[in-house]
Structure 1
Amino acid sequence: MMRDIVNRDLVNLDNCENEPIHIPGSIQPHGFLLAFDTAFTIVFASSNIETYLSIEPGKILGKKFSAVFGESIERNLQLYSEGLSETDLAPFKVNLDGNPFECTVHHNGSFLILEAEPEAVSDSESLNFYRQTTGFLANMSDSFTLRDLCQHVANTTREITGYDRVMIYRFDKDNNGEVFAESHIEGIEPFLGLHYPHTDIPRQARELYLQNLLRLIVDMDYTPVPILTLADSATNKSLDLSLSVLRSTSPIHVQYLQNMGVEATLTVSLIHKGKLWGLIACHHYSALNLSPQKRIAAKLQGQFLTSQIDVRQLNEEYDLARKCNSDVETLNALPLVPKAESIAQIIVQPELLSLCNAGGVSICFGNELYTNGDVPNAEMIRKLSKALFQKSNGSGFTTDRILTDLPELDFDCEKISGLNYQSLGLAENYNIIWYRPETISEVHWAGDPSKAIEKDTNGLSPRKSFELWQEFVKCQSLPWRTPELNAAANYGHALQRHMNLILLSEEGKRNLELNETLKEANSELENINWISTHDLQEPLRKIQLMASRLLSKEEEQLSKGVVQSLMRMNDSAGRMQALLIDILKYTRIRHTKAIEERVDLNVLLQSVEADVQDHRNERMLHITIKELPVIMGIPFLINQLFSNLFSNSIKYSKTEGAISIEVWADEKPVGFPDLPKSENLYHLIHYKDNGIGFEPQFSESIFNIFTRLHGQSEYKGSGVGLALCKKIMQTHKGHIKATGKLGEGAEFFLYFPV
């Protein structure tokens, strides 16, 4: 028992985009089909095989090919098929049942598919094809433009094949088609320049054109021939005919062509850079079959054409590129100085517009905006700059339909519809934008593209009307061509370099001015410091001396209020004198030019401890100093550093109990915690006391000059001591940090470079 594998799923215009056109389960009747498994067992056979071989399908299905046609033919076929690639469609001549056939053979999955057609071409006709092909190659160099070449291919293909109409059909970026070149017999309507919507060739059909470069329909009125297999066969229920030349055509496509009055077609795919660039579409208004030789000749025409697309496009773009590059060279040769005023000189140059054939241009240089020609208003340019910077990630962006690509801006496209944006920095306000005006174009469609499907008494069907339908496209500029975009990008890079020079020049000038200002300020501070630390000392000493004399005169009876006032005045003068002395110490550090030497901290701290013990009050003072390292430093500054720390511990001690101070060092050098990747190592000295401490949020601010956490009435001091400690550590290229707890004491961390 046999069964057919015809795909009977209902196909209509509502689901034709998903129609499985590669597995129709049937073929056209101008040949027959056989499919074998890897053991050369016949698994599939078209039901019309008896028409060509006088052999019933049921008597060959399930049998070895050699048992039906002989071992010699099977061996030749096997050798031939072993040299085929997955997508190769090669001719194979063979005699079957005493009849000569031209066959195409290809692999598809686990099957080897053979499609046979009666041989019908003489040697003289083959010689004629050879002459036509060589003549085409000889004349190909006469066509300079791509359109000329396409017209030449259309003429030659019609001459070779004999079709009534041959069109070079080119796809746009939206998969709509345009008849780019055409050759036809006299007396029929030309299609040249007409456009066809993408729905005329659905997605799955375009995908098949990428796989199978040649498609033939001999007679639109044909009756599909079912493909048969054994009813109990364990094979697939379908056979992939993507690469088949006899594959039956979609009924929707047949109806579409019949609506155009076409009875036979040949289609050759034009593949360019791995994409479907277009088709050689041949129409005939009566049934017409082509020999395999003619098909190969037509296929060669397509390969000739696609091999020359880049050459012809480069020829067309050469003059444009030369002109654009010339404009860029003129602009780059301008004698510009690295100043902001030079942008005003650039913007008025006519080459800035002509280098990419723009109608207007704007340059954003920080807060300054420069324009020339037809451009949007300043507010809209700022909005465009922000939107385009985000959309392009700070690179470039091009569009011939601003309103479509940037709908959020509510852009008025009646005057300007296209732009070419080049970012010139890391911010949105550094860019150059070229603008193009709206170009209202007239597109001629072969019928209304919005009516690809029509409804009549028989239901839905492909459109029947292919009469000229005109559409006017608005809010669109001329497209930006590659040489124009390249020239714009090249000049954008040059302009960015010039802007960087301007910014660097201005920054250098600002730095020079700032340095002069700093020098003046430092000079004034030096004068003020001298006055503060020297000239003010003498008046303070006189104030203290006069107050002391007044208080010491016993014979004069001073009132209690006067005595208290004199005492307060004397105390204030003393505090001010102490502050001036501290300021003097602080400023002297910056001018210290002493050379660093080896300092044994054990010896130095013994001296500091002895001095502190001599000047302490009645309070008990416990100082513990453990083994310390030898460091490189300036001895008198290190002495002053620890003297200040000891004085602070005594000054800010608790009111009761003994004062405790500990000093010790880590055993090994360490890195500074705020510089985790630093390779520098430090001797870490710990200094800890049991004083009043401080709250953690003040661990940084206590090192600022004149910073005090307590009032004079509580603890006396100038607020310079810890600032002085920090300054000394900085002088030694070291660091100081502190931690503390209120009421528990403070710990200081001193990092001396190893």
Structure 2
Amino acid sequence: MSSSRAASSSSSRNRQSTQERVLAQTTLDAELNAEFEESSDSFDYSKLVEAQRDTPTVLQEGRSEKVIAYLQHIQRGKMIQSFGCLLALDEKSFNVIAFSENAPEMLTTVSHAVPSVDDPPRLDIGTNVRSLFTDQGAAALHKALGFADVSLLNPILVQCKTSGKPFYAIVHRATGCLVVDFEPVNPTEFPATAAGALQSYKLAAKAISKIQALPGGSMELLCNTVVKEVFDLTGYDRVMAYKFHEDNHGEVFAEITKPGLEPYLGLHYPATDIPQAARFLFMKNKVRLICDVRARPIKVIEDEALPFDISLCGSALRAAHSCHLQYMENMNSIASLVMAVVVNENEEDDEVGSEQPAQQQKKKILWGLIVCHHESPRYVPFPLRYACEFLAQVFAVHVNKEFEVQKQLREKSILRMQTILSDMLFKEASPLTIVSGAPNIMDLIKCDGAALLYGGKVWRLGTAPTESQIRDLALWLSEVHMDSTGLSTESLHDAGYPGASALGDTVCGMAVAKINSSDILFWFRSPTAKEIRWGGAKNDPSDMDDSRRMHPRLSFKAFLEVVKMKSLAWTDSEMDAIHSLQLILRGAVDGVVKPTGKASLDEQIGDLKLDGLAELQAVTSEMVRLMETATVPILAVDGNGLVNGWNQKAAELTGLRVDDAIGRHILTLVEESSVSVVQRMLYLALQGKEEKEVRFEVKTHGPKRDDGPVILVVNACASRDLHDDVVGVCFVAQDMTVHKLVMDKFTRVEGDYMAIIHNPNPLIPPIFGADESGWCCEWNAAMTKLTGWHREEVLDKMLLGEVFDSRNASCLLKNKDAFVSLCVVINSALAGEETEKAPFGFFDRSGKYTECLLSVNRRQNEGGLITGVFCFIHIPSHELQQALQVQQASEQKSLKRLKAFSYMRHAINNPLSGMLYSRKALKNTDLNEEQMRQIHVADNCHHQLNKILADLDQHNIMEKI
């Protein structure tokens, strides 16, 4: 795929290309499926994949009917797996409108172990589902079916009226009906309990804790950890983390196997190995279980009067496609379990603020899959599958975080390199410096080679075509892409370059930036196949697999055939970096910059609305005033740990007057148990590493001595001088003493719960709670004031899903990641692991977004058994919020000033470069002594201006910030 430089944004270009790839692959999926269905034993997957790659797009048009038939076949199949049975119900009457052929035997067979039933129920079209189960099970099922989100209470425990056998009922809504999967329960493995979601969390709690304890910064470590935890949790023979690349092909990114299995680590597969229709289904139903590829599928019988076909997309029982079953059996994988990893789409112009409702958040995309394979039939009960799904959601949250870290590091690296290359250009006023010096243009982006065509001469770097080939490329660009300012392609062959085959295996991908009509910068990439590693046994060319057998090794070979003339894709951020360098080069080469005019420059600087030192002094004075009058304790120390700041709130809480505190060492003022904590916090802050939400205890003095220590939760802020050196530390704290006393009463079951919860005292924080099954059971007056939702409106609703959720809930959360994080802290407390001061935020009834901290504690009965959770919300004081707003405003103004400095620097540098070029040219002419003296003076002025501009270097300023 190739693209000329366009005026559209990088993210819109990316969205368009992604849509084109999806449509193209869906068409190819349909073609391969049709060939498989028609060819039977003569189906040759490898040759078909390669042939479809070479099929021109124009010949692929007009296949919409085949594509539609293929998608309907995938989504509307009428077969299920045999490890359970299925019923489809009318949404209003709950009468059966479809059932699997094995449902009557599983749900209505009379057991001799159960007392005789006078009128045993009969399962057929029109049967009311409640008549099949005992009263308790029927009531639980009826309650679940009445929810707007019918899957909220999954799994629902029911018992057959005739046999007494227990089943998990898993409900979901499909078009025009409700679909219920019934899976037999083995009470010896999983206790029969209605608290399915909470039970499932306990199964995954250990794995989730390990993932959350990872240091971050390594996607490889994260993936290796999750496959190890899933391997231990599920007991499958092989577990893989399968990652999708931008062109939709897949890679085994991490893997763990039992001894003796051939590893697939490092294998890449064609995009067709996992069709787009299957990826769509993974987005809808995020866990896929296949128990036995050799088992006979069960037919679903529908009411003939139905005006629609029932979709089984959301059913865990849906039978697999015959093509996939054959693929699995060929690789000796008889059973599988797959979890979808769904992350935020990485599009810059889709970014929204943190205070927008969940409906406006980024789109979700399928990052990859966690794939489990087993060499014998294997059934995984629903609670364990749900635990794996929750683990995959937590994993996806951490993948999103890694994306953000990698993006920031990448942008910072590119910005740094752009700045260095720009400085090299401005000093020499010639493009040659960025190919002949170090660093050079190859360091700007990832590439295998680069070249510069300038003034009719060619300079080559790394793995690049020959000089004559580069000139031929330039000629081709001038003839075929004469109107574009640049070009990027993964395949010169696919882009139509006639000399692509002559480049051989050296180069196939290219990015181009035209400086002008005759001067061009090139970046080159080698074929993707050179980047691919084989993670297990070497790919032996003499190993002649049967090309008609679909197998991972054969898929890998097919992938290598597809990409042998393609390189890694050029990312949007890389193309933006190239474009920025292109603009700088044009100014340097031309030596002339279009005049912006004094008015334009004044207008941009005027937008800052800053009055220099006066405004800085005003901001500083306001910050000092806020610190002194704040209702939260604030203290500061110098580089030696001696107190040089102690506001009135700190004095009030501790009983130690300001004058008595100043000059004392901070470690003499804290409790012995907190000395090591404060020492570490102080040491890190003086190194520039600021910790947040650290808890320590401060001694009390005078009349406060008998009250016991003051419990503070503190953020450390490094104080810096004009030279950006750390000279002290400021501690901004929150007093948690009263909060701790209140929590102790709750956790030790002391006093009257209701009296504490509904006490109007402003010292009582907003409190809500849930019982051991997840139903909201407490909601105090402070919560009503904070959220706008009254107690009677939220009690007896599911805390996770009805009260708090990213959609269709009373208190909306920002996104799915926020909901997963809340699930983790709530369920951790129910499992015995309490959480303090976790960041939390939600939208209240009026749509206002509230940011706060959340502490979650287990609630125990007199016997020590956990009966639920209590959650405490901490809202920063008004003064602290105001201080943070002032700080944010100051930071924003600093960034605007930084942009103005950058603009001024470039606006001055470009004409200076032109003047330098002109002076160099004049030195080569006949000049008299006076003229040479004037040029020498101009050179000195130029050097002085360069030193001044160096102080305004954007990179140096950003490093200090």
TM-score per shorter chain, which class?
0.5 to 0.7
Question: Contact 2:288–2:339 at 8 Å: present in 1 too?
Answer: yes
Q: Deviations over 1:573-593 (max 9, x none)?
A: xxxxxxxxxxxxxxxxxxxxx
Counterparts in 2 of 1:669-684, with a 5 A limit? none
Question: Contact 1:364–1:432 at 8 Å: present in 2 too?
Answer: yes
**CA separation of 1:434/1:222 partners in 2, compared to 1, >3 Å: closer, same or farther?**
closer
Q: Deviations over 1:614-667 (max 9, x none)?
A: xxxxxxxxxxxxxxxxxxxxxxxxxxxxxxxxxxxxxxxxxxxxxxxxxxxxxx
Q: Whose RCO is larger (CA < 8 A, sep 6+)? A: 2
**Aligned counterpart, 1:93:** 157
**Aligned counterpart, 2:209:** 135
* Counterpart among 296, 309, 321 of residue 386 in structure 2: 296
Distance 1:438 1:264 in 2: 36
**Aligned counterpart, 1:592:** none
Question: Contact 1:21–1:249 at 8 Å: present in 2 too?
Answer: no
Counterparts in 2 of 1:118-267, with a 5 A limit? 118-120=184-186, 121-122=190-191, 126=200, 128-139=202-213, 141-142=214-215, 144-230=217-303, 233-236=304-307, 238-267=309-338
Question: Contact 2:425–2:431 at 8 Å: present in 1 too?
Answer: no
Amino acid paired to 1:12: E
Q: Deviations over 1:661-692 (max 9, x none)?
A: xxxxxxxxxxxxxxxxxxxxxxxxxxxxxxxx
Distance 2:525 2:267 in 1: 26
SS of the residue 1:433 aligns to = strand
Counterparts in 2 of 1:576-587, with a 5 A limit? none
Q: Following TM superposition, by how much is the alpha carbon of 1:394 offset from its aligned partner in structure 2, in angstroms?
A: 2.6
Q: Following TM superposition, by how much is the alpha carbon of 1:387 offset from its aligned partner in structure 2, in angstroms?
A: 5.0
**Is 2:102 the counterpart of 1:48?**
yes
Q: Deviations over 1:112-140 (max 9, x none)?
A: 0011112331379757514324423333x
Farther-moved stretch of structure 1 (403-412 vs 218-227): 403-412
**CA separation of 1:344/1:248 partners in 2, compared to 1, >3 Å: closer, same or farther?**
closer
Q: Following TM superposition, by how much is the alpha carbon of 1:43 offset from its aligned partner in structure 2, in angstroms?
A: 0.5
Counterparts in 2 of 1:279-294, with a 5 A limit? 279-294=369-384
Q: Following TM superposition, by how much is the alpha carbon of 1:53 offset from its aligned partner in structure 2, in angstroms?
A: 2.2
**Aligned counterpart, 2:90:** 37
Q: Following TM superposition, by how much is the alpha carbon of 1:467 offset from its aligned partner in structure 2, in angstroms?
A: 11
Amino acid paired to 2:508: S
Distance 1:369 1:103 in 2: 74
Q: Following TM superposition, by how much is the alpha carbon of 1:147 offset from its aligned partner in structure 2, in angstroms?
A: 1.8
**CA separation of 1:125/1:189 partners in 2, compared to 1, >3 Å: closer, same or farther?**
farther
**CA separation of 1:86/1:129 partners in 2, compared to 1, >3 Å: closer, same or farther?**
closer
Q: Following TM superposition, by how much is the alpha carbon of 1:330 offset from its aligned partner in structure 2, in angstroms?
A: 1.7
**CA separation of 1:41/1:70 partners in 2, compared to 1, >3 Å: closer, same or farther?**
farther
**Is 2:66 the counterpart of 1:12?**
no
**Is 2:418 the counterpart of 1:328?**
yes
**CA separation of 1:84/1:255 partners in 2, compared to 1, >3 Å: closer, same or farther?**
farther
Question: Contact 1:397–1:422 at 8 Å: present in 2 too?
Answer: yes
Q: Following TM superposition, by how much is the alpha carbon of 1:337 offset from its aligned partner in structure 2, in angstroms?
A: 7.6
Distance 2:327 2:219 in 1: 30
**Is 2:554 the counterpart of 1:495?**
no
**CA separation of 1:483/1:335 partners in 2, compared to 1, >3 Å: closer, same or farther?**
closer
Distance 1:362 1:160 in 2: 52
Distance 1:223 1:499 in 2: 72
More strand by share: 1
Q: Following TM superposition, by how much is the alpha carbon of 1:100 offset from its aligned partner in structure 2, in angstroms?
A: 3.1
Amino acid paired to 1:496: R
Question: Normalising to structure 1: TM-score of the pair?
Answer: 0.55
Question: Contact 1:209–1:269 at 8 Å: present in 2 too?
Answer: yes
Q: Following TM superposition, by how much is the alpha carbon of 1:149 offset from its aligned partner in structure 2, in angstroms?
A: 1.0
* Counterpart among 179, 183, 186 of residue 117 in structure 1: 183
Distance 1:94 1:424 in 2: 73
**CA separation of 1:235/1:461 partners in 2, compared to 1, >3 Å: closer, same or farther?**
farther
**Aligned counterpart, 1:660:** none
Distance 1:254 1:343 in 2: 58
**Aligned counterpart, 2:627:** none
List gaps (5 residues or longer) in structure 1. 1-8, 506-754
SS of the residue 2:439 aligns to = helix
Q: Deviations over 1:171-202 (max 9, x none)?
A: 33444332211112223222222233444333
Question: Contact 2:134–2:159 at 8 Å: present in 1 too?
Answer: no
Q: Following TM superposition, by how much is the alpha carbon of 1:170 offset from its aligned partner in structure 2, in angstroms?
A: 2.0
Q: Following TM superposition, by how much is the alpha carbon of 1:422 offset from its aligned partner in structure 2, in angstroms?
A: 2.4
**Aligned counterpart, 2:81:** 28
**Is 2:194 the counterpart of 1:103?**
no
Distance 2:487 2:121 in 1: 62
Counterparts in 2 of 1:396-545, with a 5 A limit? 396-410=486-500, 412-414=502-504, 415-424=506-515, 428-429=517-518, 431-436=520-525, 440-441=530-531, 444=534, 462=550, 480=570, 484-499=574-589, 501-502=591-592
Distance 1:399 1:249 in 2: 37
Distance 1:80 1:452 in 2: 55
List gaps (5 residues or longer) in structure 2. 1-33, 44-66, 110-119, 346-363, 596-961
**CA separation of 1:482/1:368 partners in 2, compared to 1, >3 Å: closer, same or farther?**
same
Task: State percent identity of aligned pairs.
Answer: 25
Distance 1:335 1:175 in 2: 39
Farther-moved stretch of structure 1 (149-158 vs 77-86): 77-86
Distance 1:292 1:84 in 2: 22
Distance 1:384 1:398 in 2: 13
Question: Contact 2:100–2:300 at 8 Å: present in 1 too?
Answer: yes
Q: Deviations over 1:518-554 (max 9, x none)?
A: xxxxxxxxxxxxxxxxxxxxxxxxxxxxxxxxxxxxx
Amino acid paired to 1:30: F
Distance 1:54 1:48 in 2: 10
Distance 1:320 1:422 in 2: 21
Q: Following TM superposition, by how much is the alpha carbon of 1:163 offset from its aligned partner in structure 2, in angstroms?
A: 1.0
Question: Contact 2:136–2:158 at 8 Å: present in 1 too?
Answer: no
**CA separation of 1:24/1:116 partners in 2, compared to 1, >3 Å: closer, same or farther?**
same
Q: Following TM superposition, by how much is the alpha carbon of 1:61 offset from its aligned partner in structure 2, in angstroms?
A: 1.6
* Counterpart among 403, 424, 438 of residue 350 in structure 1: 438
**CA separation of 1:244/1:127 partners in 2, compared to 1, >3 Å: closer, same or farther?**
closer
Farther-moved stretch of structure 1 (54-63 vs 414-423): 54-63
Q: Following TM superposition, by how much is the alpha carbon of 1:83 offset from its aligned partner in structure 2, in angstroms?
A: 3.8
Question: Normalising to structure 2: TM-score of the pair?
Answer: 0.44
Distance 2:301 2:473 in 1: 64
Larger Rg, first or second structure (1 or 2): 1
Question: Contact 1:13–1:461 at 8 Å: present in 2 too?
Answer: no
**Aligned counterpart, 1:61:** 125
Amino acid paired to 2:396: T
SS of the residue 2:155 aligns to = strand
Question: Contact 1:388–1:421 at 8 Å: present in 2 too?
Answer: no
Question: Contact 1:153–1:305 at 8 Å: present in 2 too?
Answer: yes
